[in-house]
Structure 1
Amino acid sequence: MFGKLFSRSAPMVEAPRRKAPPMLARQRRSGRVRNFDAAQNDRLTSGWTNTPLPADQIIRRNWCTLVARSREQAANNPYGKAFQRSARRNIVGQQGLVLQARSKDGSSGTLDQGANRAIERAWKSWCKAQNCDVTGRRSFRQIQKELINGCVTDGEFMVRFVYGRDAGPWGFALQVLDPMRCPVDMDEEKRPGGGFIRAGIEYTKLGRPIAYYFTTLSPNEADYNYGGRGFVKVPADEIVHWFEADIVGQKRGLPWMATALWRMHQLGEFEKSALVAARDGANRQGFIEWEEGYGPELDEDDEEDGIEIESESGIYQSLPRGAKIKTDVSQYPNGEMAVFSKHMLRGVASGLGVAYNDLSNDLEGVNFSSIRHGMLAERDHWKELQESLIESFALPVYERWLTYALLGGRITLENGSPLPAAKRQKFMDVQFQPRRWEWIDPAKDVKADVEAMDNLIKSHGQVIRERGRDPQDVYGEIAADIKDMRAAGISEDIITAVMTGKLKGGQGNGQQGSSPKAGTPGEDGEDGDDAGD
């Protein structure tokens, strides 16, 4: 046994390796295993990037250039200006974000109408230009418009909360800041406590903003300062900073026009070239060539006086002997220009997220179904941005305003008593109603809403909110109309017929018919829906 334990064993023989299949062997020899065509590195993809960059490097390398070019296109390119106008019109609209207070009584759970009216009344007063803006020049709605304009060209907006004597009559106001004042190239890797600074913003070690750094907060600075180290530090809880993040870890916003900028610029240059060629072709009819032995004999110091030929309708001009005309016809604009421009604009519209017909103001070949489909998709995009604006801007502003307004006793009931600051959490229950749109065919849309309400698919309040109104305001207007009609001596039958849209000849159903005797909704039990059929 011991002999077996201490005896020298024979060396192990390595098992023979199996040869790779011929197909894999060829791929290994060639050094390439193709999985995706887009991952190939060849002469056709030599200029295509193959190294992913983190969001911070993308912002640092491209942000200033994209902002400068976006601002230039918004100023000089009609399509850039049209997109900026469209974004402002669809996100903000005529009234902007309208506050709807929804505070409820704790015992019954019903709406506290008195407190809600007081909050909405005080908010409306603060939204005036002399109260909400530190400069006293812009109302709250106009501030919203300016912020959306900035998002189109800058990709973000920054608003500072200002308190105290400099904030105006209410002691609280907003200061709109230029994002270019926050240096995108200001980085610091290690701060006390493990924090860091990236793109002019200081963060905790987990990425929560602590402070913002600006080159200046004063409006009298006319120029941008590059490379300086004197910064103004503002706590992050005094700044509203919003942008639509496209990349994980993104800390600054990219202009909304960034994807479409190259096409917009190239299309603009193409149109300029075509216009110059067209003007040159319209101004120059041709050249006069002389046969050999003819033409004026000029010395080196003589100046040639060109032959002037005046054109007149029905008259044929004769040329000097030996002279002939060689015409020069410009090729632009030709029939391909419209096709090329439309193709480019479709790419621009896709990059901007808007419908081509709206951006280009081109309704050629559009029918009801196609334009409705395009409008629905575009409006969903605007609604998404509206909700982001409410969550990131309107609600934080309302929270700060409510605190200072309650502490200052600025929100009062109709009897003059102020709302108690101890119930601040109750008064935080609010909604902001963004703008909504009318449909191309309102009659069909109204009919669909009526059927949805009859089948309990929609409520009256939902239908009203979809049209940008506050249900409480609509109900109050209806109640006031009924009260005024009763005060004027109108009978209850007519009031009922008017309110239910069953009075023939009226406007309840949008149809005209013969008016029956006053107080008679219809004959033989017919209602207004059958009038005029």
Structure 2
Amino acid sequence: MGTVSTRAKAIGRATWLDRAIGWANPKQGLKRAWFRDALVRAYEGASKADGWRPRRPGASARADYVADARELRHRARALCANVPYVAQALSVMVSCTIGVGVLARWVGDREGLTGKRWKAWTAFADYDGLLDFGGLMAKAWHTMKVDGEVLVRLRDRRTSPTTAPLQLQLLEIDWLDVDRCEVRGDNEVIAGIEYNGRGERVAYWLFDRHPGDVGFRAMLRESQCVPADEIIHLFNPARPGQQAGITVLAPVIANVRDLQVYEDAEQARKNLEARMGAIGEWDESLLDGVKLPDPGISADGGARPATLDLGELAGGGIVALPPGMRNPQFIQPTAAPGHVEYVKHRQKIIAAGLGVPYEYMTGDMVEVNFSSSRVRTNLYRREVEREQWTLLVPMFLAPIARRWAQLDELVAGPLPGGVFADWTMPKWPSVNPAQDVAADLSEIKGGLQSISEKIRERGYDPDQVFTELRDDLRRLKDDGTLPLLAALLGAANPLELLAALGGDKTTTEKPAQKL
């Protein structure tokens, strides 16, 4: 029955040619109409009836990058520099992803010597001599979010005889000669990146200084070939085959700009609301010697009424009418409703496009309660952790650790077998500290996580924490306050702690004498 109905509809949409063929061959005419009906699109989103034509359909990720990345980058920088909530959103991304820095844990480093050398190197990691390794992480991540990508040049440079001869130079993507596209033997240079026949990166063509810099040398720039193993290219390869990055602001640039234009217009209207206007009539009998301006000639050739600008009316004051004015009518603009609701609605769309909670971006906590805050924070935490372990670690931290380990051998010799860097991300702020601490202790008691890992999640060095705890306990023991403190904390036998810390063997045997 369904087939008959479908064919009946097809007959109803038959063209004149179908009907002409059907007059001579009814079966063939019916087949033509039926197969044409099968070509009707199954997805309404693919219909072209609304006139929507996507830009550059079918273009590769590389083609889209070459066409739009530079303009998007310039606009993103302008918005980040001038729009407060956009700047706050970028700051939140860096704070939640990097914090004060991701901590390295050298697995297999039994004596802790590798970790100590790494920690000593992090203070001198910046090629410009301004930041430590944690600061470089934050700046690289912020630049990657705004520009879509950032370059890190690995400089073999000795800073002291006891640290690995390596420093990191952060470069904006403007240093890359994206206009260089050429064939060099078996290799091909596309947008400043040189690839071999297998599509592997073999070199980057970089300027010797920022092309937008000032000075005579900036005008005489010429890109130079830098081996790819000296460059870390940090970006988010969202599309298969994507070789460079697009700013995270790309989906919201138009929305932010439109909202700013609306805000400017609203601000201008608010300024008018704070003022008063007046319209009055002139009475020549009251002019008392005041000369009216020349009325001039209007566009239709007639006399144009004379007007006189008396300036702005002062708020809160009493202003006398000028000679010749009568029957003044004061004009007070009225406020337009819905401004706050519209701005919040648009900002929520922008926050969704950036992937940042609206409350984090704007600081507006009016609609937030404890449950909704935890749900949104947990979801955003998953998104941040995904970027930490799929972008930050494999594309930025791991290559730096490998290069550092190679160069550290020049100072300290080969690393022990099986030693490699693991990473501990910064701990998220606690919404309910009592519950979170209890949950951490339960995980430690259950063997799900170590004490050291929990300490690293809070942003501290476990070795330093354990050393300080041991020193504090010994100090309390030496001044005699440890037993009292332990008793106040509920310890069953506080003096056993002294023996474990290196006290004499008689500590637990003669507690009365020690007390």
Partner of 1:132: 125
State the 1:300 CA deviation.
1.9
1:39 alignment partner in structure 2: 46
| 2:333 aligned to which of 330, 335, 356 | 330
1:157 aligns with 2:160: no
**1:299 to 1:90, Cα distance in 2 relative to 1, 3 A:** closer
Q: Specify the alignment match of 1:445 in structure 2.
A: 436
Match of 1:141 among 131, 134, 142: 134
Q: Do the aligned partners of 1:199 and 1:251 also contact (CA within 8 Å) in 2?
A: no
Supply the distance in 1 between the matched residues of 2:62 and 2:492 (Cα, whole angstroms): 61
Partner of residue 376, structure 2: 374
Q: 1:39 to 1:328 in 2, by over 3 A?
A: farther
Please tell me whether residue 389 in structure 1 is matched to residue 392 in structure 2.
yes
1:60, distance to aligned residue in structure 2 (A):
0.6
Q: 1:144 to 1:80 in 2, by over 3 A?
A: same
Given candidates 388, 399, 402, the residue that maps to 1:399 is 402
- What's the CA shift for 1:160? 0.9
Alignment pair present for 1:436 and 2:427: yes
How far apart are the structure 2 equivalents of 1:143 and 1:84?
Answer: 16
Q: How does 1:350-369 map to 2 (within 5 A)?
A: 350-369=352-371
* Cα displacement (A) at 1:461: 4.3
Retained in 2: the 8 A contact 1:295–1:323? Answer: no
Deviation readout 1:404-455 (Å, 9 max, x if unpaired): 222124xxxxxxxxxx32x35444x222222112211111222233344445
What SS does the corresponding residue of 1:323 show, helix, strand or coil? strand
CA contact (8 A) 1:309 1:317 kept: no
Q: In 1, distance between residues paired with 2:86 and 2:277?
A: 38
1:45 Cα deviation from its structure 2 partner: 3.3
* Aligned counterpart for 1:97 among listed residues 94, 102, 111: 102
Structural mapping, 1:25-104, within 5 Å:
25=33, 28=36, 33-42=40-49, 44-49=50-55, 51-94=57-100, 96-104=101-109
Measure the CA separation in 1 of the matches of 2:490 and 2:475: 13
2:455 alignment partner, one of 458, 461, 464: 464
> How far apart are the structure 1 equivalents of 2:365 and 2:150?
34
1:211 lines up with 2:203 in the alignment:
yes
Q: Using the alignment, how far apart are the partners of 1:27 and 1:47 within structure 2?
A: 27
**1:183 to partner: Cα distance:** 2.4
Tell me the amino acid that sits aligned with residue 69 of structure 1. Answer: R
SS of 1:335's equivalent?
Answer: coil
**2:270 corresponds to:** 278
Partners of 1:258 and 1:228 in 2: how far apart?
32
- Where 1:408 maps in the other structure, the secondary structure is helix
Query: Counterpart amino acid of 2:88?
Result: A
Distance in 2, matches of 1:134 and 1:309, equals: 59
Contact 1:74/1:80 (8 A) holds in 2: yes
> Which secondary structure state, in structure 2, belongs to the residue aligned with residue 125 of structure 1?
helix
Segments of structure 2 that go 5 or more residues without pairing to the other structure are 1-24, 296-305, 495-510
Measure the CA separation in 1 of the matches of 2:58 and 2:218. 28
Residues 479 and 247 (structure 1), Cα distance of their counterparts in 2 relative to 1, 3 Å cut: same
Residues 293-351 of structure 1, C-alpha deviation per residue, up to 9 Å, x if partnerless? Answer: 888672529994739877768x898898873334444355x331111111111111011
Within the alignment, does 1:239 sit opposite 2:222 as a pair? no
The answer on 1:478 being equivalent to 2:469 is yes
For residues 145-179 of structure 1, give each alpha carbon's deviation from its aligned partner in whole angstroms, at most 9, with x where no partner exists: 22122112211111111124699985321221121
The letter of the residue matching 2:138 is K
SS of corresponding position for 2:237: coil
> Which residue number in structure 1 is paired with residue 171 of structure 2?
177
The 1:215–1:382 alpha-carbon spacing in structure 2 relative to 1, beyond 3 Å, is: same
Q: CA 1:282–1:38 in structure 2 vs 1: closer, same or farther (change >3 Å)?
A: same
Report the AA paired with residue 383 of structure 2. Answer: H
Rounded to whole Å, the distance in 2 between the matches of 1:316 and 1:210 is: 77
Q: Aligned partners of 2:245 and 2:77: how far apart in 1?
A: 15
Going from structure 1 to structure 2, the CA distance change for 1:206 and 1:229 (only over 3 Å counts) comes to farther
Matched residues in 2 for 1:356 and 1:91: separation? 17
Q: State the AA in 2 paired with 1:100.
A: R
Alignment partner of 1:57: what SS?
A: helix
AA paired with 1:61? Answer: A
Equivalenced residue count is 456
Q: Does 1:290 align with 2:281?
A: yes
User: Is this contact kept in 2: 1:134–1:167, CA < 8 A?
Assistant: no
Tell me what 2:508 maps to. Answer: none
1:57 alignment partner AA: A
1:474, CA displacement in angstroms? 3.8
> What is the rounded CA distance, in whole Å, between the counterparts of 1:303 and 1:50 in structure 2?
55
C-alpha distance in 1, partners of 2:398/2:127? Answer: 19
1:418-433 alignment to 2 at 5 Å?
A: 420-421=413-414, 423=415, 425-427=417-419, 429-433=420-424
User: 2:310 aligns to what?
Assistant: 306
8 Å contact kept, 2:252–2:353:
yes
Note the C-alpha offset of 1:473: 4.1
Alpha-carbon distance between aligned partners in 2 of 1:256 and 1:166, rounded to the nearest angstrom: 36
What is aligned with 1:514? none
TM-score (norm 2): 0.77
Distance in 2 separating the partners of 1:223 and 1:255: 28
Percent identity of paired positions between Structure 1 and Structure 2: 24
Amino acid of the structure 2 residue aligned with 1:355:
P
SS at match of 1:364: coil
Task: Say yes or no: does 1:342 pair with 2:348.
Answer: no
- Distance of 2:354 and 2:345 partners within structure 1: 15
> Secondary structure at the residue paired with 2:42?
coil
1:264 is displaced (CA, Å) by 1.2
Equivalent pair of 2:374/2:431 in contact (CA under 8 Å) = yes
* Secondary structure in structure 2 of the residue aligned to 1:51: coil
Higher mean alpha-carbon deviation, 303-312 vs 351-360, is at 303-312
Cα distance, 1:463–1:143 mapped onto 2, change above 3 Å: closer
The one-letter amino acid paired with 2:345 is: H
- 1-structure distance, mates of 2:234, 2:423: 17
Question: What per-residue deviation string (whole Å, max 9, x for no partner) do you get for residues 212-258 of structure 1?
Answer: 00132479953899999932000000001111111111111111111
Cα distance, 1:360 vs. partner? 1.1
Q: Which moved more, 1:258-267 or 1:316-325?
A: 316-325
**2:151 alignment partner AA:** M
Tell me the CA shift for residue 397 of structure 1: 1.6
Distance 1:220 1:275 in 2: 34
SS of the residue 2:127 aligns to: coil
RMSD (CA atoms): 3.8
Instruction: Confirm or deny that 1:267 pairs with 2:259.
Output: yes
Contact kept, 8 Å, 2:425 with 2:457, in 1: the verdict is no
Q: Distance in 1 between matches of 2:285 and 2:312?
A: 17
1:479 Cα offset (Å):
3.3
Give distance in 1, aligned partners of 2:245 and 2:388: 17
